[in-house]
């Protein structure tokens, strides 16, 4: 199939339903060969799972796709998924790490086992495959990675502590590997979607349900994996055919008084810090150097 991604081979994890399905269909429509990964938790009478049905849709539309059924939580899944993609044409050009679960619970009512189940899928499941793809892409001096996170990872979400922690970790991971990959033309971005899916259906506000489609987010992902894209390290919120950029910022440095600091004093200092213009930084060292420079500007610092 012709399109801007013709000749490109890539992976979509969790590609059998919801957002992953929409990503896979849009990528294939743009000409890519898509390895659609989804575990076979539910199968039809013929033993075929969600990934198989998405592949059928892609092929019916004239595209090319391969189904892959590993559970990203398994220790050997990353290698199996990567090998399936590499076997298509000997190269892997993009990865959309989308597979995730939520498993809502109040933090104090959760268990270590339940918490670890979520983080094993959402963090390790994405990170292990991203690691393999990143090494391969660096060797070929080209590649595009999109991590699918959530605004829960920016702001927190009550009753979803494990999900929140995992998605926050993906945002930080994406920013780190974006810096690492820039010089090798391996670019990484993070997308934070709002969409009505099986995971979000019960919590989606009724008045927004119909416009918050997975299909409205998919073009953003397709644009980010395009080899012509130079975007890197972006955190993009996307919903209902629109985007807005998110960022982590720091405000002004305010000196602490000598000795004991009361809660009231600390509150006043926080308010003063927020009066300064917010600042963005590409990575942690830049933030440290900026802070160190600000707090020592009027001090004599030993050489």
Catalytic residue numbers read 163
DSSP letters spanning 286-301:
HHHHHHHHHHTTTS--
> Can you tell me which residue has the tokens 């969409």?
195
Q: Give the closest residue to 199 by CA, choosing from 287, 263, 89, 122.
A: 122
Helix, strand, or coil (residue 224): helix
Could you tell me where the DSSP H helices lie in 61-160? Answer: 77-89, 112-119, 125-139, 152-155
Could you tell me where the DSSP H helices lie in 140-283? Answer: 152-155, 161-181, 218-225, 263-274
Phi, psi of 18, deg, nearest 5: 55, -130
Q: How far is CA 204 from CA 194, 198, 200, 239, in A?
A: 9, 10, 6, 13
């Amino acid at each position: 199939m012709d399109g801007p991604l013709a000749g490109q081979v890539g992976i979509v994890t969790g590609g059998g339903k919801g957002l992953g399905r929409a990503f896979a269909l849009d990528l294939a429509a743009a000409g890519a060969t898509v390895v659609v990964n989804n575990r076979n938790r539910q199968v039809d009478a013929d033993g075929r799972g969600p990934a198989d049905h998405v592949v059928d849709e892609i092929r019916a539309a004239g595209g090319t796709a391969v189904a892959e059924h590993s559970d990203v939580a398994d220790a050997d899944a990353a290698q199996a998924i990567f090998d399936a993609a590499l076997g298509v044409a000997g190269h892997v050009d993009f990865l959309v790490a989308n597979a995730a679960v939520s498993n809502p619970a109040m933090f104090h009512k959760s268990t270590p086992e339940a918490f670890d189940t979520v983080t094993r899928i959402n963090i390790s499941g994405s990170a292990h495959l991203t690691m393999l793809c990143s090494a391969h892409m660096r060797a070929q001096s080209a590649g595009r990675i999109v991590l699918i996170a959530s605004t829960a990872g920016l702001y927190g979400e009550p009753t979803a502590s494990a999900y929140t922690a995992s998605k926050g970790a993906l945002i930080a991971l994406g920013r780190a590997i974006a810096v690492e990959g820039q010089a090798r033309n391996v670019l990484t971005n993070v997308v934070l979607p709002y969409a009505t899916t099986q995971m979000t259906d019960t919590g989606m506000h009724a008045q927004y349900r119909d416009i918050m489609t997975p299909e409205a987010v998919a073009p953003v992902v397709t644009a980010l994996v395009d080899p012509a894209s130079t975007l890197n390290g972006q955190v993009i919120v996307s919903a209902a055919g629109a985007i807005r950029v998110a960022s982590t910022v720091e405000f002004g440095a305010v000196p602490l008084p000598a000795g004991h600091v009361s809660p009231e004093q600390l509150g006043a200092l926080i308010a003063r810090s927020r009066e300064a213009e917010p600042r963005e930084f590409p990575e942690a060292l830049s933030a440290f150097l900026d802070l160190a420079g600000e707090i020592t500007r009027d001090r004599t610092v030993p050489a």
